[in-house]
Every structure is written in C-alpha cells, then in structure tokens.
C-alpha cells in the first residue's frame, strides 16, 4: 500500500516511520521542484510526479502551503485526503475566518484589510491593540505584526504599504488577554468516525511553539466537550479525512478558535510516546481506510521543541522517560531541529524530569523550561 505525501520535511518523515510497521510505503514530493524523494533519507527517487500519483493509493499533505498548480494536479486524481478545500482553508486565513463565521464558531474579533488606509477603520472597530497577520504563508511568528498603540500606526502603514494586500489580504485581530493556548488534535475517517486526543497546553516564545503539555492542566469536562464539538463541526463541514489540529485561546470557560491546521501538527508530537496510537499512524490509518487506533493517553508528556540548536549532550537520554527525535537538518535560527518527548506518571514527576533535562541544555535555546517545571510542580 503506497501513500504519497506533498511536502518532504520532518512531518513526512515521521509519517513514513509510522507507516513502516503497518506495511505502508510512504514517498514524498519536494514541492519546490516536484521531485519524488524518500522522506527518511531525502534521496531522490527515479520516478516522475505523474507516475508517483498514479501508483499511489492515496495522496496526503504534511503542510497546507502547497503550490496551487500541484494541488490542482493531485485534486484531479481523486486521491487527495484531506480534500483540496480543507487544505486551502487551512492555508488562507480569510477562508478560515469565513468558515468559522459560517459555522457560528467563536474566534477573535477581526477585520479583513486589503488597503493600508483600512487600518484606521479596523482600529475604530477593534481598538488600538491589534495582531495583524498575513492571510497566507505566515507561521511560526512570521508574517505577523503587533500594534500596541495608535502612535505606531504611521510606521506600520509605511511597512505594510510595500506589500500587495489585494493579492494577500491582512487579517487584523483584536489583541485579547487570553489565559493560555490549548490545541485539540483529532482524527476523522471517511465514514465520519472521530477519535479525539486530549487537549494539549501550548507555550510559545517569540511566536513559535516551544513546549506542549498533554493532557493540559486544569481542563474540565465542559472545556473538553466544547473543543470536541467545535472540531466535529469543522470536520463534518469539510468532510474531513485525516488528522486535523484546532488551536484555541482559552478565556475563562470559552474557547476561541485561533487557527486550524489540516494535517498532523507540532502540538501532537507528544502522542509518539504519550498515547496508544500516535497522530502519524492515525493519520495514515484514516487516509488509507484502516480502522482508527486508540487515542488513550498512556503517560503525562511534555513535547519540547529543539529550535536552532545543534550542540547539546545526548546524556540527557539517561533521564527516565526521555525520548529524542532528531530531524537531521542543517541548523539555522528558528529552525525546528527536533524535539524531546518527556514522559512521566503525573505532573509532579514530569516537573522533576524537566528540571533534570534543563541541566543538559543551553538555556538560550530553551527559555521556558525552568518556569514550566516550577508550574507543573504545583499539581
């Protein structure tokens, strides 16, 4: 059974590793040049794109920013899961916001801006503290700007005037004082069956995810059900097949959707050691029409991204429950080089493991770990 993944980064690699025990062969498309590659070795495979699509049982994606010509080619094969509509919605914040409005799903108050002078009206509507996001191609803090007060507006306008806002509109959101970000990763198959992982708590630094804790602390049944109902609305509307991640801002007992990701997701990496079936295997099961695996939590887990860092002592693997996933990339600033999964029986034990891990890592690349260890020690 053959699966073709659009995109050849670490998510395709982890899908290939998860598929091997199931007898699933996973190949990837380097979307920069449409060459077929082995997602683990990165070696180019002597096979054309057309042949790879023809021979694959199903085609899926590792990220949503797929060149439209490639997406159209694969869509025409009737093998793409999730659908082109779902992928395009996740790649375009305007489409995403319109879908949320259509389904009556709460999200951050916003305006769509196609000319810089429309920012004045956005301030009148939303206030002068704003988050401004490019509607496409922005992630990990890129393509985003903050307006903290109106005095910054002239400089911001001059900067944004250089962009083609008709081609890539801006989503201007009210800057909210939310308590935290949580995310729900779940999987839906073609028959409409859904398996939910628990909500994870996400900690960001400079716009980039650094740590996820799963299950999230202080989550009651009402919040879980609210997240699951929102996921179900979105997935059924898109007739979604595969893993879908939904990021939320928590404000008291209300969850506001921040964004959706139509793919396996960084905040679901904890499932590789913390759940009976990881998100990568469950995504492959869903798109290939196999029974979904159990999402039962096996241990409390912290997923810790390794960002821009290559020099650390591997002796941290002596810590009980410590698992290293290394992506084999050339290091650069803000690049995800790999991640740790730290597993423990409860939050207090997880706190101790994080404290132990801190001793092996350069603090400049892992700025949130000490505080998070102290927080978890309270539970």
In tens digits, what is the pLDDT along the chain, a chain of 379 residues? 799 999 999 999 999 999 999 999 999 999 999 999 999 999 999 999 999 999 999 999 999 999 999 999 999 999 999 999 999 999 999 999 999 999 999 999 999 999 999 999 999 999 999 999 999 976 655 788 999 998 999 999 999 999 999 999 999 999 999 999 999 999 999 999 999 999 999 999 988 999 999 999 999 999 999 999 999 999 999 999 999 999 999 999 999 999 999 999 999 999 999 999 999 999 999 999 999 999 999 999 999 999 999 878 899 999 999 999 999 999 999 999 999 999 999 999 999 999 999 999 999 999 999 999 999 999 9
Residue 204 has which token pair?
Answer: 């960001």
User: Per CATH, which fold does 180-376 belong to?
Assistant: D-amino Acid Aminotransferase; Chain A, domain 1 (3.30.470)
pLDDT at res. 169:
95
Tell me which residue of 318, 316, 328 sits closest to 366, measured CA to CA.
316
User: Per CATH, which fold does 109-174 belong to?
Assistant: Dna Ligase; domain 1 (3.30.1490)
Q: Which residues belong to CATH 3.40.50.20 in the chain? A: 2-80
User: Per CATH, which fold does 2-80 belong to?
Assistant: Rossmann fold (3.40.50)
Residue pair 228/184 in contact by the 8 Å Cβ criterion: yes
Q: Which strands sit side by side in the sheet containing 35-37, from one edge to the other?
A: 35-37, 25-30, 2-6, 58-61
Strand partners, 168: none
pLDDT at res. 141:
59
pLDDT at res. 140:
59
Burial 150-175 (b: 16+ CB within 10 A, else e): eeebeebeeebeeeebeebbbbbbeb
Q: Which residues belong to CATH 3.30.470.20 in the chain? A: 180-376
pLDDT at res. 143:
84
Pairing status of strand 58-61 against strand 110-113: unpaired
Helices (H) and strands (E) in the chain, counts: 12, 17
Q: Which phi and psi (to 5°) does residue 71 adopt?
A: -65, -40
Q: How far apart are CA 160 and CA 181, in angstroms?
A: 28
Residue pair 334/364 in contact by the 8 Å Cβ criterion: no
Q: Angle, to 10 degrees, between the axis of helix 84-91 and the axis of helix 68-75?
A: 160
Query: Which contacts qualify for 54-59: CB closer than 8 Å, 24 or more apart?
Result: 55/2, 56/2, 56/3, 56/4, 56/27, 57/1, 57/2, 57/3, 57/288, 58/3, 58/4, 58/287, 58/288, 59/3, 59/4, 59/5, 59/6
Q: How far apart are CA 277 and CA 282, in angstroms?
A: 7
Half-sphere exposure of 149 (CA within 13 A, CB side): 1
Contacts with 305 (C-beta within 8 Å, 6 or more apart), sequence order: 208, 209, 210, 211, 266, 336, 339
Q: How far apart are CA 303 and CA 200, in angstroms?
A: 10
Residue linked to tokens 């509507």: 125
pLDDT at res. 368:
95
Residue pair 269/341 in contact by the 8 Å Cβ criterion: yes
> How many C-beta atoms lie closer than 10 Å to residue 218's C-beta?
10
Residue pair 279/200 in contact by the 8 Å Cβ criterion: no
Could you tell me if residue 89 is left (phi over 0), alpha (psi between -120 and 50 degrees) or otherwise beta?
alpha
pLDDT at res. 124:
93
Q: How far apart are CA 152 and CA 175, in angstroms?
A: 15
């Amino acid at each position: 059974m053959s699966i073709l993944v659009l995109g050849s980064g670490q998510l395709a690699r982890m899908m290939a590793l998860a598929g091997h025990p199931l007898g699933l062969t996973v190949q990837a498309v380097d979307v920069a040049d449409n060459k077929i590659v082995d997602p683990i070795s990165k070696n180019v495979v002597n096979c054309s794109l057309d042949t790879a699509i023809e021979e694959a049982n199903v085609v899926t994606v590792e990220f949503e920013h797929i060149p439209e010509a490639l997406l159209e080619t694969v869509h025409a094969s009737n093998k793409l899961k999730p659908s082109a509509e779902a992928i395009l919605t996740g790649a375009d914040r305007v489409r995403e916001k319109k879908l949320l409005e259509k389904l009556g799903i709460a999200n951050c108050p916003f305006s769509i801006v196609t000319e810089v002078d429309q920012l004045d009206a956005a301030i009148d509507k939303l206030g002068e503290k704003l988050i401004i996001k490019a509607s496409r191609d922005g992630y990990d803090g890129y393509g985003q700007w903050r307006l903290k007060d109106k005095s910054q507006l002239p400089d911001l306008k001059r900067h944004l005037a250089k962009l083609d806002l008709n081609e890539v509109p801006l989503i201007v959101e009210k800057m909210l004082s939310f308590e935290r970000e949580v995310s729900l990763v779940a999987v839906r198959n073609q028959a409409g069956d859904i398996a939910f992982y628990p909500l994870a708590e996400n900690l960001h630094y400079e716009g980039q995810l650094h740590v996820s804790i799963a299950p999230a602390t202080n989550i009651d049944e009402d919040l879980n059900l609210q997240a699951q109902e929102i996921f179900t609305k979105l997935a059924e509307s898109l007739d979604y097949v595969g893993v879908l991640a939904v990021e939320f801002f928590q404000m008291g007992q209300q969850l506001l959707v921040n964004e959706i990701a139509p793919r396996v997701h960084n905040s679901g990496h904890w499932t590789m050691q913390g759940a009976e079936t990881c998100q990568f295997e469950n995504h492959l099961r869903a798109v290939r029409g196999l029974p979904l695996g159990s999402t039962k939590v096996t241990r409390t887990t912290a997923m810790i991204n390794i960002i821009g860092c290559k020099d650390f002592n591997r002796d941290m693997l002596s810590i009980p429950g410590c698992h290293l996933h290394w992506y084999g990339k050339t290091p650069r600033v803000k690049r995800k080089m790999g991640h740790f999964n730290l597993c423990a029986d409860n939050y207090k034990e997880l706190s101790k493991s994080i404290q132990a891990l801190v001793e092996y890592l350069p603090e400049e690349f892992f700025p949130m770990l000490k505080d998070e260890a102290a927080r978890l020690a309270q539970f």
